[in-house]
A = this chain, B = another copy of it.
């Protein structure tokens, strides 16, 4: 039995979609137990494998992350993280304030000894539909070469355990493919990665090849990773607007677009990284999953499944043994 702590109050559509996601998960998986943290006035269902805990506070999107975690001790997010720290829960999930969740991970759940910085990992879509593991997408904006080396080790384990790839190709995101390309950070990280045998180092990869199925794991610093993630998100939206303007400019186009509507919407889904589950904060003494702020019930369900698999695969134990000190 895996026990998962869930923040009922996090996300744009909380608590309703969170409750719906939890319902789906406990119905689908007979071997999970959920501890749900939130406002009792909003909680409206009972299940033998769901334990409800009332919290008097809630962390909002406007809260300053570190302060919120330190002050709002009775918030659903803090108490959810407490449950992981105490060992009561194996994993926790929130669709709330990302910065606050990272702080909760760092200050409440805590780092694995020997891992200097946790990293936020996502799975992004690729042309083949297979997808790739991408980290760090924003846990640390100021990064050193040795952090990138650890991210590569963490990403390698994540791809093996969660994505079931025996020997993942781990690449370094850079502005050129040759070893000496890049800035001071990536040049030195390349050397570190090239000198080890913990994972299969693919070498440098450029941003234009990201979605081309070249590597299973792509490593970058949190500043660049967050930039790329937002750029992918934003350019899809902007290009979508431009396409829409063009497609709707004549009756003939409108009719043709109607024929393609379903497939175009499927392409949208294929490109939507939230379909691949939540992002996970790696390098901590427990599993912390961030579901997208605009998650629907299905996305919450996916995040719960992801937390379940990560627990069953004991990724934290493996990271402690192989990356930790």
Contacts and interface: CB of A to CB of B under 8 A. Distances in A.
A243 B259 CA distance: 14
Given A223-B175, A227-B224, A141 B183 contact: yes
Contact of A270 (B175, B237, B242): B242
A207 B233 CA distance: 9
A256 interface: yes
A142 to B, nearest CB: 5
Interface in A124-182: 126-127, 138, 141-142, 173, 175, 182
A228 interface: yes
Q: How many copies does the complex hold?
A: 2
A26 interface: no
A162 to B, nearest CB: 23
Contacts of A115: none
A241 B206 contact: no
A49 interface: no
B175 A226 contact: yes
A322 interface: no
A231 B230 contact: no
A170 to B, nearest CB: 19
A114 interface: no
A239 interface: yes
A40 B59 CA distance: 72
A270 B249 CA distance: 16
Given A210-B235, A212-B234, A253 B243 contact: no
A129 B66 CA distance: 41
B235 A232 contact: yes
Given A208-B231, A231-B228, A175 B263 contact: no
Contacts of A28: none
Contact of A242 (B184, B242, B271): B271
Given A142-B183, A228-B231, A266-B246, A127 B206 contact: no
A20 B256 CA distance: 38
A313 B267 CA distance: 46
Most chain B CB within 10 A, of A186, A242, A246, is at A242
Interface in A36-59: none
Contacts of A209: 234
30 contacts: A127-B241, A141-B175, A141-B183, A206-B234, A207-B230, A207-B234, A208-B230, A208-B237, A209-B234, A210-B231, A211-B235, A211-B238, A211-B239, A212-B234, A224-B227, A227-B227, A227-B228, A228-B228, A239-B267, A243-B264, A246-B264, A246-B266, A249-B263, A252-B259, A253-B263, A255-B259, A256-B256, A256-B257, A256-B260, A260-B260
Given A206-B234, A212-B238, A243-B264, 14 more contacts: A183-B223, A208-B230, A208-B235, A210-B231, A210-B234, A210-B235, A224-B224, A231-B232, A232-B235, A242-B270, A242-B271, A246-B267, A247-B260, A247-B263
